[in-house]
């Protein structure tokens, strides 16, 4: 597990979004198109009309009802408040418009850094991946320091290269977790760990199937039916779970599953989750 004695000299980035400490960056910087997730088109750099003068959302408690489901599933991994309060030292895009575009461009870069750090920390907190802890602890400080780069350096960063350097360890962690899927009697369905293309899960009916130890890495799972499926010890990194039905499914032991992925899905009171995640308020 993450050893405090070896990493206590590193300032660990806060990886959960804190909108109270952010200047509504995602509401301005990010573009979106009219769809089932958003009620209208918006270009990058244009403030959402629902954004108030105090940088809070005017329809926060009604986003789904007003046609902004996409806002409820976005997670900046803490990049928004880091840019607002630290990188730009409490200077907003409204009070300092000369740096607004730069700030907008920095948001997706810093978000990727924080997302990568969150995956690394997850692996380092899992006892079953202890064989990788030393290697990740060695790589962690250099990745964590990227979060503190000045804007110009952030925008010059080859984030793909940094992700590639760590991805080997994340893949190894996934293999360890998936290989330890519980060896109980299999339900009717696909064999454990079977490789399938990401498109295989798009709208697929996998209700009640045994998908233990499956890699959903980068899979398109939009509107897939996983109701009452056994998906313990699965790898969820990069999976698109928009409108995926997870009602009654068992997701325990999974790796790289995020709260924002769950927020995009549908579930129920009897859906079983890893301990560090919570059932979204819209699940019934």
Residue pair 17/76 in contact by the 8 Å Cβ criterion: yes
Predicted local distance difference test score (pLDDT) of residue 188? 40
For 75-132, the pLDDT digits (tens) are 999 999 999 999 999 999 999 999 999 999 999 999 999 999 999 999 999 999 999 9
Which backbone phi and psi does 220 adopt, to 5 degrees? -85, 110
| 256 pLDDT more than 50 | yes
For 26-47, the pLDDT digits (tens) are 999 999 999 999 999 999 999 9
For 136-165, the pLDDT digits (tens) are 999 999 999 999 999 999 999 999 999 998
Q: Which whole number is the average pLDDT over 23-28?
A: 96
Predicted local distance difference test score (pLDDT) of residue 284? 81
Closest by alpha carbon to 119, among 233, 256, 281?
256
Which backbone phi and psi does 112 adopt, to 5 degrees? -65, -40
Higher pLDDT among residues 198 and 13, named by residue: 13
Tally of residues, the chain: 284
Residue pair 168/138 in contact by the 8 Å Cβ criterion: no
Helices 159-179/100-124 angle, 10° precision: 30
CA angle at 136 for the pair 277 and 239, rounded to the nearest 5° = 40
**CA–CA separation, 142 vs 120, rounded Å?**
12
Structural domains of the chain, ranges and CATH numbers in brackets: 4-30+74-177 (no CATH), 182-284 (2.160.20.80)
**CA–CA separation, 50 vs 26, rounded Å?**
12
| 174 pLDDT more than 70 | yes
Q: Per-residue confidence at 199, pLDDT binned at 50, 70, 90?
A: low
Q: Which whole number is the average pLDDT over 233-257?
A: 97
Q: What percent of the chain has pLDDT over 70?
A: 89
Residue pair 52/127 in contact by the 8 Å Cβ criterion: no
């Amino acid at each position: 597990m993450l050893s405090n004695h070896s990493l206590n000299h590193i300032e660990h980035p806060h990886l959960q979004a804190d909108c109270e400490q952010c200047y509504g960056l995602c509401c301005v910087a990010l573009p979106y198109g009219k769809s089932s997730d958003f009620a209208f088109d918006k270009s990058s750099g244009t403030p959402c009309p629902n954004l108030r003068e105090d940088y809070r959302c005017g329809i926060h408690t009604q986003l789904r009802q007003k046609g902004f489901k996409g806002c409820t599933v976005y997670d900046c991994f803490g990049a928004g408040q880091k840019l607002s309060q630290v990188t730009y030292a409490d200077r907003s895009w409204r009070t300092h418009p000369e740096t607004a575009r730069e700030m907008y461009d920095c948001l997706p870069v810093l978000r990727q850094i924080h997302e990568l750090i969150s995956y690394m920390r997850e692996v380092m907190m899992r006892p079953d991946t202890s064989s990788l802890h030393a290697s990740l602890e060695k790589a962690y400080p250099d990745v964590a320091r990227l979060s503190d780069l000045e804007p110009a350096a952030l925008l010059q960063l080859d984030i793909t290269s940094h992700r590639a350097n760590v991805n080997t360890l994340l893949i190894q962690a996934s293999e360890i977790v998936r290989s330890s899927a519980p060896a109980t009697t299999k339900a009717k369905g696909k064999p454990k760990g079977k490789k399938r293309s990401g498109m295989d899960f798009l709208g697929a009916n996998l209700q009640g199937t045994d998908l233990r130890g499956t890699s959903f890495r980068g899979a398109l799972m939009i509107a897939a039916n996983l109701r009452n499926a056994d998906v313990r010890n699965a790898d969820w990194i990069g999976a698109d779970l928009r409108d995926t039905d997870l009602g009654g499914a068992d997701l325990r032991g999974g790796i790289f599953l995020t709260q924002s992925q769950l927020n995009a899905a549908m579930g129920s009171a009897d859906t079983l989750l890893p301990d560090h995640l919570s059932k979204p308020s819209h699940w019934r």
